[in-house]
Protein backbone atom coordinates (compact mmCIF):
# COMPACT_ATOMS: atom_id res chain seq x y z
CA UNK A 1 0.00 0.00 0.00
CA UNK A 2 1.13 3.54 -0.68
CA UNK A 3 3.07 5.37 2.00
CA UNK A 4 2.78 8.94 3.18
CA UNK A 5 3.10 11.33 0.26
CA UNK A 6 4.32 14.87 0.65
CA UNK A 7 4.28 17.42 -2.14
CA UNK A 8 6.23 19.20 -3.32
CA UNK A 9 9.56 17.62 -2.42
CA UNK A 10 11.51 20.83 -2.88
CA UNK A 11 10.46 24.45 -2.80
CA UNK A 12 12.22 27.79 -3.06
CA UNK A 13 10.39 30.91 -1.92
CA UNK A 14 11.36 34.49 -1.21
CA UNK A 15 10.92 36.28 2.08
CA UNK A 16 7.45 37.62 2.65
CA UNK A 17 5.76 35.06 0.43
CA UNK A 18 3.47 32.36 1.66
CA UNK A 19 3.66 28.63 1.02
CA UNK A 20 1.33 25.65 1.22
CA UNK A 21 2.61 22.12 1.73
CA UNK A 22 0.52 19.02 1.24
CA UNK A 23 0.48 15.63 2.93
CA UNK A 24 -1.53 12.57 1.94
CA UNK A 25 -1.54 10.00 4.73
CA UNK A 26 -1.59 6.25 4.36
CA UNK A 27 -5.04 5.01 3.39
CA UNK A 28 -7.13 4.46 6.51
CA UNK A 29 -4.97 6.70 8.69
CA UNK A 30 -6.88 9.55 10.26
CA UNK A 31 -4.15 11.35 12.20
CA UNK A 32 -1.62 13.64 10.57
CA UNK A 33 1.19 15.41 12.41
CA UNK A 34 3.62 18.00 11.06
CA UNK A 35 7.22 18.61 12.13
CA UNK A 36 9.88 21.15 11.25
CA UNK A 37 13.44 19.90 11.12
CA UNK A 38 16.42 22.24 11.14
CA UNK A 39 20.08 21.51 11.95
CA UNK A 40 20.01 23.83 14.96
CA UNK A 41 16.62 22.97 16.49
CA UNK A 42 16.18 19.35 15.52
CA UNK A 43 12.70 17.92 14.99
CA UNK A 44 10.08 20.25 16.34
CA UNK A 45 6.39 19.44 16.59
CA UNK A 46 4.12 21.85 14.72
CA UNK A 47 0.60 20.42 15.05
CA UNK A 48 -1.51 17.31 14.84
CA UNK A 49 -4.87 16.83 13.15
CA UNK A 50 -7.36 14.07 13.65
CA UNK A 51 -10.71 13.89 11.88
CA UNK A 52 -10.35 17.46 10.60
CA UNK A 53 -9.71 18.84 14.10
CA UNK A 54 -6.46 20.18 15.46
CA UNK A 55 -5.70 18.11 18.54
CA UNK A 56 -2.26 19.35 19.49
CA UNK A 57 -0.21 22.39 18.69
CA UNK A 58 3.48 23.10 19.11
CA UNK A 59 5.15 26.34 20.06
CA UNK A 60 5.17 28.12 16.71
CA UNK A 61 3.92 31.57 15.73
CA UNK A 62 0.52 32.06 14.15
CA UNK A 63 2.14 32.33 10.71
CA UNK A 64 2.13 28.54 10.77
CA UNK A 65 -1.29 27.03 10.26
CA UNK A 66 -2.78 23.84 9.01
CA UNK A 67 -5.93 22.02 8.20
CA UNK A 68 -7.17 18.56 7.46
CA UNK A 69 -9.78 17.55 4.92
CA UNK A 70 -12.48 14.92 5.14
CA UNK A 71 -10.28 12.47 3.22
CA UNK A 72 -7.58 12.95 5.91
CA UNK A 73 -5.25 14.80 3.56
CA UNK A 74 -3.61 17.70 5.32
CA UNK A 75 -2.08 20.98 4.31
CA UNK A 76 0.13 23.33 6.25
CA UNK A 77 0.54 26.96 5.39
CA UNK A 78 3.29 29.38 6.32
CA UNK A 79 2.60 33.04 5.68
CA UNK A 80 5.05 35.93 5.52
CA UNK A 81 8.03 33.62 5.12
CA UNK A 82 11.25 34.37 6.98
CA UNK A 83 14.75 33.10 6.26
CA UNK A 84 14.57 31.04 9.45
CA UNK A 85 11.64 29.06 8.04
CA UNK A 86 14.05 27.23 5.74
CA UNK A 87 13.79 23.63 6.89
CA UNK A 88 12.71 20.11 6.10
CA UNK A 89 9.00 19.79 6.84
CA UNK A 90 7.94 16.27 7.69
CA UNK A 91 4.46 14.87 7.85
CA UNK A 92 3.54 11.72 9.77
CA UNK A 93 0.37 9.70 9.67
CA UNK A 94 -1.00 7.17 12.09
CA UNK A 95 -4.11 5.09 12.26
CA UNK A 96 -5.63 6.77 15.27
CA UNK A 97 -5.16 10.01 17.15
CA UNK A 98 -1.63 9.05 18.12
CA UNK A 99 -2.37 6.93 21.15
CA UNK A 100 0.76 5.83 22.87
CA UNK A 101 0.96 2.47 21.12
CA UNK A 102 0.62 3.42 17.48
CA UNK A 103 3.69 4.15 15.44
CA UNK A 104 3.67 7.09 13.07
CA UNK A 105 4.76 6.68 9.46
CA UNK A 106 6.61 9.57 7.89
CA UNK A 107 6.73 10.99 4.41
CA UNK A 108 9.95 11.97 2.70
CA UNK A 109 9.45 15.59 3.58
CA UNK A 110 9.33 18.90 1.79
CA UNK A 111 12.56 20.85 1.80
CA UNK A 112 11.72 24.54 1.89
CA UNK A 113 14.36 27.14 1.17
CA UNK A 114 13.56 30.78 1.80
CA UNK A 115 15.81 33.27 0.02
CA UNK B 1 5.51 19.29 30.10
CA UNK B 2 7.22 16.30 28.59
CA UNK B 3 10.84 16.44 27.58
CA UNK B 4 13.04 13.98 25.79
CA UNK B 5 16.84 14.11 25.76
CA UNK B 6 19.49 12.47 23.64
CA UNK B 7 22.88 13.44 25.04
CA UNK B 8 25.09 11.99 22.29
CA UNK B 9 25.21 14.27 19.22
CA UNK B 10 27.45 11.81 17.38
CA UNK B 11 28.83 8.32 17.81
CA UNK B 12 31.17 5.95 16.01
CA UNK B 13 31.02 2.16 16.06
CA UNK B 14 33.05 -0.52 14.35
CA UNK B 15 31.22 -2.72 11.88
CA UNK B 16 29.82 -5.90 13.51
CA UNK B 17 30.02 -4.44 17.01
CA UNK B 18 27.07 -3.47 19.19
CA UNK B 19 26.25 0.15 20.04
CA UNK B 20 23.92 1.81 22.54
CA UNK B 21 22.21 5.12 21.83
CA UNK B 22 20.99 6.93 24.94
CA UNK B 23 17.58 8.46 25.50
CA UNK B 24 16.01 9.82 28.66
CA UNK B 25 12.59 11.38 29.12
CA UNK B 26 10.74 13.40 31.67
CA UNK B 27 7.02 12.98 32.21
CA UNK B 28 4.36 12.66 34.87
CA UNK B 29 2.14 10.61 32.56
CA UNK B 30 1.44 7.02 33.55
CA UNK B 31 0.61 5.94 30.00
CA UNK B 32 3.04 6.73 27.24
CA UNK B 33 4.92 5.22 24.35
CA UNK B 34 8.57 5.38 23.40
CA UNK B 35 9.76 5.11 19.83
CA UNK B 36 12.99 5.02 17.91
CA UNK B 37 13.29 6.21 14.33
CA UNK B 38 16.19 6.13 11.88
CA UNK B 39 16.75 8.97 9.44
CA UNK B 40 19.21 8.26 6.62
CA UNK B 41 20.62 11.07 4.51
CA UNK B 42 17.59 10.85 2.22
CA UNK B 43 15.53 12.45 5.01
CA UNK B 44 12.77 9.90 5.44
CA UNK B 45 12.05 8.80 9.01
CA UNK B 46 11.99 5.02 9.36
CA UNK B 47 10.24 3.44 12.34
CA UNK B 48 12.48 0.98 14.22
CA UNK B 49 10.96 -0.04 17.52
CA UNK B 50 8.26 0.77 20.08
CA UNK B 51 7.99 0.34 23.88
CA UNK B 52 4.84 0.98 25.87
CA UNK B 53 5.02 2.29 29.41
CA UNK B 54 3.14 -0.75 30.71
CA UNK B 55 5.20 -3.30 28.81
CA UNK B 56 7.21 -5.35 31.26
CA UNK B 57 9.57 -6.84 28.72
CA UNK B 58 12.05 -4.89 26.64
CA UNK B 59 11.01 -4.57 23.00
CA UNK B 60 13.09 -6.27 20.33
CA UNK B 61 12.92 -6.05 16.54
CA UNK B 62 15.62 -8.01 14.78
CA UNK B 63 18.96 -6.37 15.55
CA UNK B 64 17.27 -3.59 17.49
CA UNK B 65 16.36 -3.79 21.15
CA UNK B 66 15.13 -1.14 23.52
CA UNK B 67 16.59 -1.13 27.02
CA UNK B 68 13.64 0.26 28.98
CA UNK B 69 14.35 1.35 32.55
CA UNK B 70 11.14 2.93 33.74
CA UNK B 71 12.34 4.08 37.15
CA UNK B 72 15.29 5.85 35.56
CA UNK B 73 13.10 7.11 32.69
CA UNK B 74 15.47 5.87 30.08
CA UNK B 75 14.84 4.10 26.79
CA UNK B 76 18.17 3.32 25.20
CA UNK B 77 18.39 1.75 21.75
CA UNK B 78 20.81 -1.13 21.31
CA UNK B 79 21.89 -2.07 17.81
CA UNK B 80 23.66 -5.40 17.64
CA UNK B 81 26.11 -6.43 14.91
CA UNK B 82 26.30 -2.96 13.33
CA UNK B 83 26.26 -2.72 9.56
CA UNK B 84 27.49 0.04 7.27
CA UNK B 85 23.87 0.74 6.34
CA UNK B 86 23.14 1.63 9.96
CA UNK B 87 24.98 4.93 9.49
CA UNK B 88 22.23 7.52 9.94
CA UNK B 89 20.67 9.88 12.44
CA UNK B 90 18.58 8.23 15.14
CA UNK B 91 15.71 9.91 16.95
CA UNK B 92 14.09 8.88 20.19
CA UNK B 93 10.40 9.76 20.41
CA UNK B 94 7.93 10.09 23.28
CA UNK B 95 4.18 9.99 22.88
CA UNK B 96 1.91 11.00 25.72
CA UNK B 97 -1.06 8.75 26.33
CA UNK B 98 -2.96 11.80 27.59
CA UNK B 99 -2.38 14.28 24.78
CA UNK B 100 -1.37 11.99 21.94
CA UNK B 101 1.45 14.36 21.08
CA UNK B 102 4.61 12.74 19.70
CA UNK B 103 7.84 14.63 20.36
CA UNK B 104 11.46 13.82 19.58
CA UNK B 105 14.89 14.27 21.04
CA UNK B 106 17.67 16.14 19.27
CA UNK B 107 18.95 13.02 17.56
CA UNK B 108 22.21 11.07 17.52
CA UNK B 109 24.29 10.69 14.38
CA UNK B 110 25.75 7.20 14.17
CA UNK B 111 28.66 6.36 11.89
CA UNK B 112 29.62 2.75 11.33
CA UNK B 113 33.26 2.24 10.42
CA UNK B 114 34.35 -0.63 8.15
- Compute and round to an integer the Cα radius of gyration of chain B: 14
- Give the C-alpha separation, A31 to A23, whole Å: 11
Q: Is B52 on the interface with A (CB under 8 A)?
A: yes
- Give the C-alpha separation, A9 to A54, whole Å: 24
Tell me which residue of B89, B81, B104 sits closest to B21, measured CA to CA.
Answer: B89
Does position A1 have pLDDT exceeding 70, yes or no?
Answer: no
Q: Do A48 and B101 touch (CB under 8 A)?
A: yes
φ and ψ at residue A86, rounded to 5 degrees: -60, 120
Q: Is B96 on the interface with A (CB under 8 A)?
A: yes
Does position B1 have pLDDT exceeding 90, yes or no?
Answer: no
Distance from CA of B81 to the nearest CA of A (A): 25
Q: Is A92 on the interface with B (CB under 8 A)?
A: yes
* Residue B39: predicted pLDDT: 95
- A85 three-class SS: helix
Per residue in B42-95, pLDDT (tens digit) is 888 999 999 999 988 999 999 999 999 999 999 999 999 999 999 999 999 998
- A89 three-class SS: strand
* Residue A99: predicted pLDDT: 55
- A82 three-class SS: coil
Q: What percent of chain A has pLDDT over 90?
A: 78
Does position A88 have pLDDT exceeding 70, yes or no?
Answer: yes
Task: List B109's β-bridge partners, or say none.
Answer: B10, B89
Check if the beta carbon of residue A83 is closer than 8 Å to that of residue A114.
yes
Q: Is B53 on the interface with A (CB under 8 A)?
A: yes
Q: Measuring CA to CA, how many Å separate A105 from each of A26, A27, A85, B31?
A: 8, 12, 23, 21
- Give the C-alpha separation, B92 to B102, whole Å: 10
Amino acid sequence: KAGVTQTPRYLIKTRGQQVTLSCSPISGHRSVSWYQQTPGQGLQFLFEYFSETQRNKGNFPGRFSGRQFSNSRSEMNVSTLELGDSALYLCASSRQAQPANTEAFFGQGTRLTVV
Amino acid sequence: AQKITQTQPGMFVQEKEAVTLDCTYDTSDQSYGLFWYKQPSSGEMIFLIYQGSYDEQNATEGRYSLNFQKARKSANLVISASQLGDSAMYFCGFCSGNTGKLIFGQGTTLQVKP
